[in-house]
Amino acid sequence: MGLVDQILVLDPAKFATIATLRLAKRLRSTVPSVFFDLQIHTHRRLARRIAWLSGASRRFGFFRPRERLPRSYHGIYANPFAPVDQLYREMALPFGAANVEPIRDQPLAISPVDDDKAAALLHGWHRAGEPLLIVNPNASATAYVRRWPISYYSQSIAMLIREVPRLKIALIGSAAEASYVRSLEATLPPHGDRVRNFAGLTSLGSLMALLSRADCVLSNDSGPLHLALALEVPVVGLFGPVHPNHNAQLGHKRRKIILYKPMLCSPCVHYASPPPCGGDNRCMTSIAPQHAVDACLRFLSDRHPRERGSLSEWRFDGAMREGALIPMG
């Protein structure tokens, strides 16, 4: 994005007191005057401690009902139903920023090195003119309930291979998610090398480069989905435990289709633990494989000759029961 001069990291797996104090000491040595605490859902207490230890005279952060903020904090209410990008813009207002719409015509930058890495991964397998679908069956450990069932992904992939000639499908995931992705790969019928597993083979940058080459990305609500939206790649997003209005506002509205089957208990992630359904994520299992296939075909199939940029606008509708999508205009 060209906005960051220095990155200091606290490993999430090592939230030990000594590591936190070392990070705070490094921050304090930079003599910061302003600290923006961007944590909305997780690690808020830790972030507030680090903000205080940094010595910054002005600190901005989010709060929820019944939470107490330090006196020196400028608090912004973390409305759980507001779009995340809107919440971050609200944080800038007390600092004196103008209330303007974000600039959306400059997607995330991809370095030539990362682009070359993505090209090397696809070399000899994906050829020019072949549609490319990237599938991300994962969701972070903060809420596995966001995952669509493996069997649904398997059925969808099988149908898409039959429907779209020469389609290539790339499975993605982190190194920690590789075994889960392999469990999906193991359920697929013979496909003649039309599906490849790239889980654990990408860095953040090369993953972005890989996503940018996709004709469609099929994914649960997760980091890769948000990256694809930010890159304005055609996306089919699967939502349930988190309301899509909160996390799916990025991206060009004509290059995304969000599948969401409202349930009385949705959203639950970040607000109820354990989930009210006991973890069987009925909101996700209510999205049928055929729904996902039909949505992906909008971007992948020659049967839909319209330009991708001229797709009908899609909206969420809480009253829907049978279909997950409603076309507008």
| pLDDT, tens only, 3-40 | 788 888 887 666 678 888 888 899 999 999 999 999 88
pLDDT at 99: 67
Mean pLDDT over 292-317 rounds to 61
| Cβ neighbours around 117 below 10 Å, total | 18
Mean pLDDT over 308-329 rounds to 35
Residues 283 and 145: their CA atoms lie apart, in Å, by: 10
Q: With a cut of 80, say whether residue 244 has pLDDT above it.
A: yes
Mean pLDDT over 187-216 rounds to 96
pLDDT at 46: 85
Which residues fall within 8 angstroms of residue 147, CB to CB, at 6 or more apart?
A: 137, 138, 139, 220, 281, 284
Residue 73, token pair as written in the block:
């904090």
What pTM, to 2 d.p., does this model score? 0.83
pLDDT at 226: 92
Q: Are 159 and 289 in contact (CB under 8 A)?
A: yes
Mean pLDDT over 235-251 rounds to 85
* Per-residue model confidence as pLDDT tens digits over 98-136: 766 666 556 688 999 999 999 999 999 999 999 999 999
Q: Phi, psi (5° rounding) for residue 28?
A: -60, -30
| Cβ neighbours around 196 below 10 Å, total | 16
pLDDT at 100: 65
Residues 50 and 24: their CA atoms lie apart, in Å, by: 6
Task: Give me the residue spans of the domains in the chain.
Answer: 12-92, 112-328
Judged by average pLDDT, the poorest of 194-208, 232-246, 259-273, 276-290 is 259-273
Position 88 confidence tier, pLDDT thresholds 50, 70, 90: confident
- The alpha carbon of 149 is separated from its chain's Cα centroid by a whole number of angstroms, namely 17
The fold for domain 112-328 equals Rossmann fold (3.40.50)
Nearest to 272 by CA among 18, 9, 41, 34: 41
Residues 304 and 327: their CA atoms lie apart, in Å, by: 15
Q: With a cut of 60, say whether residue 310 has pLDDT above it.
A: no
Position 214 confidence tier, pLDDT thresholds 50, 70, 90: very high
